[in-house]
Amino acid sequence: MSAPEIVSYEPATGAEIWRGKHGNVDDVVDRARRAWPAWAAQPLSNRIELVRRFANEVRKQAEELATLIARETGKPMWEARTEVESVVNKVEISIRAYAERTAQRKLDNALQGTAALRHKPHGVLAVLGPYNFPAHLPNGHIVPALIAGNAIVFKPSEKTPATADLLVRCFHRAGISAAVVQLLIGGPEEGQALVGHEGIDGILFTGSAHTGIAINRRLALRPDKIVALEMGGNNPIVVWDTPKLTDAAVLVVQSAFTSAGQRCTAGRRLIVKASLYDALISEVKRLADRIIVGAPFDEPAPFMGPVIDNAAADGLTESFLYLLSHGGKAIKHMVRTDDNLPFLSPAIIDVTGIKDRPDVELFGPLLQVIQVTDFDEAIAEANNTRFGLAASLVGGSPQDYNRFWANVRAGVINWNRPTNGASSAAPFGGVGLSGNHRPSAYYAADYCAYPVASTELDQPRALIGVGLRED
């Protein structure tokens, strides 16, 4: 049985900030099913107006929400504020995306009448959110799903329920029924029950590949349920011929260590041309050594905070030691400054000499470096993963980038930009173990409604012109 309560703690201090009781999955889903028809029957303009009011509620609560995100995730306050801005901006982006991706269309079909294309909502959708962006990423599912006419059951990560609670209250304050957007507090048990519930018409998930695969397996015999999986990445950043090694080093550090490496798009593997290795690594290490690791409200502001909890810090430390003991060469050691709190220094390790490198997503500030001698080898190394979320090429010619773009298997491919920081105004998703070909962000509209094709006449008109005996 589940524990009686979910408790949220501040990573930076260990202090308790929120507690709440586990929700009842059957009750929440039943309530959503009863509320959904009235919500779906509202004019689209009404639903759009209500999500715009939600954006205004978030604006009113912006500093409170940012403070809560910073406390609950450990991320610096400056970064928490950018997350709140993304929550607000998602509304207008989703409205534009719905109009473009799922607009109504009518075509004259001559004597066959009118051909029409319209879209219908699925019904009640479960949104399973992650802890690294506890407001922005679930909101990226919720807002487009509401615009399309779905009701929502939102189960946040058990590590960030306080942020989810405040986010959902903003929907309710905007005038969206508390039955149309519901918060389900719980852990893995409630998540599994929600995925398998007959009253749920689809699962919109952001999180680890392990959990996403379990959801996919659970629903393998249920093609009637929409499943959108946004999972992690073992993302490569390739540095090739460039005289601007200082800028390249900045892009590497931004990719690897922003959000303490707790982004699905974080650069995990630095693939570098051997002739640039010494100069580039010297710049990357020099910059990484200057990174301030601290609590969210410290002055001066830290570049990165702690990882989410002690279990995550323990796992990352063990992973660093594993790589070190299997042939890795430490460039910058991972240091844990307090055994009781999950603060980790950025770590860099050369894994070129490891024959069978583990293809796993090490979700934290741990960058693996691999030397290569030619561009074909760099592309092969970039593709040496079951994941396929993000990849970046730094340096190189336009012809190099064309080859990189054409041959690297990923859903986000950048040139002279970090692997992270994707725009919400573009589709966001990956292939392989990074997703199931249902990208989110601007393309979330695609999985929040299904197309219905119609041919229509205002009066019945028909004849059979062949194959009948004379009357």
CA–CA distance, 330 with 320 (Å, rounded to integer): 9
Instruction: Indicate if 448 belongs to the active site.
Output: no
Instruction: Indicate if 264 belongs to the active site.
Output: yes
User: Between the CA of residue 46 and those of 43, 232, 248, what are the distances in Å?
Assistant: 5, 35, 48
Q: Which of 83, 190, 230, 381 is catalytic?
A: 230
3-state secondary structure the chain: CCCCEEEEECCCCCCEEEEEECCCHHHHHHHHHHHHHHHHHCCHHHHHHHHHHHHHHHHHCHHHHHHHHHHHHCCCHHHHHHHHHHHHHHHHHHHHHHHHHCCCEEEECHHHCEEEEEEEECCEEEEECCCCCCCHHHHHHHHHHHHHCCEEEEECCCCCHHHHHHHHHHHHHCCCCCCCEEECCCCHHHHHHHHCCCCCCEEEEECCHHHHHHHHHHCCCCCCCEEEEECCCCEEEEECCCCCHHHHHHHHHHHHHHHHHCCCCCEEEEEEEHHHHHHHHHHHHHHHHHCCECCCCCCCCCCECCCCCHHHHHHHHHHHHHHHHCCCEEEECCCECCCCCCCECCEEEECCCCCCCCCCCCCCCEEEEEEECCHHHHHHHHCCCCCCCEEEEECCCHHHHHHHHHHCCCCEEEECCCCCCCCCCCEECCCHHHECCCCEECCHHHHHEEEEEEEECCCCCCCCCCCCCCC
Q: Which of 72, 79, 158, 264 is catalytic?
A: 264
Q: Tell me which residues are annotated as active site.
A: 230, 264
